[in-house]
Amino acid sequence: MSQSVRAEASVGGSRKPPRLQAITILGAPVEAGAGVAGCAMGPAMLRTAGMVGTLADLGHDVVDLGDVVPGDLGEAEPPEGKTRHPAVISAWARALARETHAVLSEGRLPVVLGGDHSLAMGSVSGVARYAADAGRKLFVLWLDAHSDYNTPLTSPSGNMHGMPAAMLSGEPGFDFLFGGEKRESIDPGRLSLFGIRSIDADERRLLRARGIDVIDMRMLDEHGFAVSIRRIIDRVKAADGLLHVSLDVDFLDPTIAPGVGTAVPGGATYREAHLVMELLYESGLSPSLDLVELNPFLDERGKSALLLVDLTASLFGRQVY
């Protein structure tokens, strides 16, 4: 028996081909929610790094619809509190909600390339609407250094990339985003904030009051990434739920992913991040996906973009052996 065959047998048998998916790529070059310019270049950089070709090489049916075009800014009444560029974020949220809902309704999985994390106000809203239409419970895995649970009344900066988790969970102060359009919130009990290591005081108060699942880096250091992600997977499966993954570059340690404007030391390592994606793939849940906050202006020779492409490949079935 050759060395390679022995190695393959030792890990439990022959290699299984990936489950083939119908994937639709949507670009969302929005940076109005961020405090540092550059995120608008994120979708183009992820395409340059080979996102479409990498997924297609795995055998998936990949369609790139290009960048979403937000609608008219309108004249929504500005919310009470502190928000920057609310009309722009509202236009993006409405457009992305329509697009992700349409993609899922066609039997395909949306992969949204950002853009700052405010885009999740739209992308996840569309997924939540689809889940409600299907009579399924939506779970959201938020891979991020920050909890993103500020509201216009609590945000110190008014940057709306720090608010999407709160908005999606139904916190007050966000009615201006969708106006009279139909939208769905997510149950705060089905939101998991994973890899967190930076939370504002008012966010901490709201998170505790809502009973949101916060898996911070201390917990991951203590219990391990595999145990923690499997617990989330088990919850989704037990409810026969749908899963959406929203991955912020700052979930990763800045030594391996420097291309982000909100870097926080002590993030996930290369192997920890891949393990999360590999376990999600092996779960069979087939989540929809956001990739957000990539700032090519701050990156090092495409290092962060290439890693995001590799992580997406792991989520969709690329195997080492």
For the chain, how many residues are written?
A: 321
d(C-alpha 8, C-alpha 93), whole Å: 46
User: 0.75 exceeded by the pTM?
Assistant: yes
CB 289 within 8 A of CB 112: yes
9: in domain: no
Q: Is 248 a domain residue?
A: yes
Instruction: Write down the pLDDT at residue 71.
Output: 84
Active site (annotated) includes residue 244: no
pLDDT in the model for residue 92? 97
Name the DSSP class of 319. -
* pLDDT for the residue 178: 92
Predicted pLDDT at 319 = 85
Residue 302 vs residues 35, 50, 296, 297, 318: alpha-carbon distances, Å: 21, 11, 7, 10, 21
Q: Give the integer Cα–Cα distance in Å for 296 and 104.
A: 29
pLDDT of residue 72: 78
Residue 239 forms part of a structural domain: yes
274 assigned to active site: no
101 a catalytic residue: no
Strands (E), the chain: 22-28, 61-67, 109-114, 138-143, 191-196, 213-216, 242-248, 288-292
CATH number of the domain encompassing residue 232: 3.40.800.10
Domain membership of residue 121 (yes or no) is: yes
From 64, 99, 203, 293, the catalytic residue: 293
pLDDT of residue 182: 82
Owning domain of residue 114: 22-315
**Per-position pLDDT tens, the chain of length 321:** 333 333 333 334 445 667 899 999 999 999 999 999 999 999 999 999 999 999 999 999 999 999 999 987 765 566 789 999 999 999 999 999 999 999 999 999 999 999 999 999 999 999 999 999 999 999 999 999 999 999 999 999 999 999 999 999 999 999 999 988 888 999 999 999 999 999 999 999 999 999 999 999 999 999 999 999 999 999 999 999 999 999 999 999 999 999 999 999 999 999 999 999 999 999 999 999 999 999 999 999 999 999 999 999 999 999 876
148 is catalytic: yes
Instruction: Write down the pLDDT at residue 3.
Output: 39
Considering the domain boundaries, does residue 258 fall inside one? yes
- What is the per-residue pLDDT for 74? 60
pLDDT of residue 179: 84
Does residue 293 carry a catalytic annotation?
yes
Active site residue 240: no
pLDDT at residue 9 in the model = 35
Active site residue 144: yes
Task: Spot the catalytic one: 250, 290, 299, 310.
Answer: 250
Number of neighbouring beta carbons within 10 Å of residue 208: 10
What pLDDT is stored for residue 134 in this prediction?
97
Residue 294's region, left for phi above 0, alpha for psi from -120 to 50, else beta, is beta
Contact 141, 244 (CB under 8 A): yes
Out of 248, 253, 278, 290, pick the active-site residue: 248
In a domain, 17, yes or no: no
Under the phi-then-psi rule, with left for phi > 0, alpha for psi from -120 to 50, and beta for the rest, what region is 66?
Answer: left
Catalytic residue chosen out of the listed positions 60, 85, 101, 146 = 146
Output the CA–CA distances (angstroms, integers) from residue 222 to 142, 218, 225, 272, in the order listed. 19, 6, 9, 14
Residue 146: active-site member? yes
> In the chain, how many domains are there?
1
Catalytic pick from 31, 67, 99, 148? 148
Task: Give the containing element (helix H, strand E) for 54.
Answer: helix 51-57
The neighbour count for residue 176, using CB atoms within 10 Å, is 18
- 14 in a structural domain: no
7 within a domain of the structure (yes/no): no
Closest CA to 24 of 71, 68, 88, 74: 68
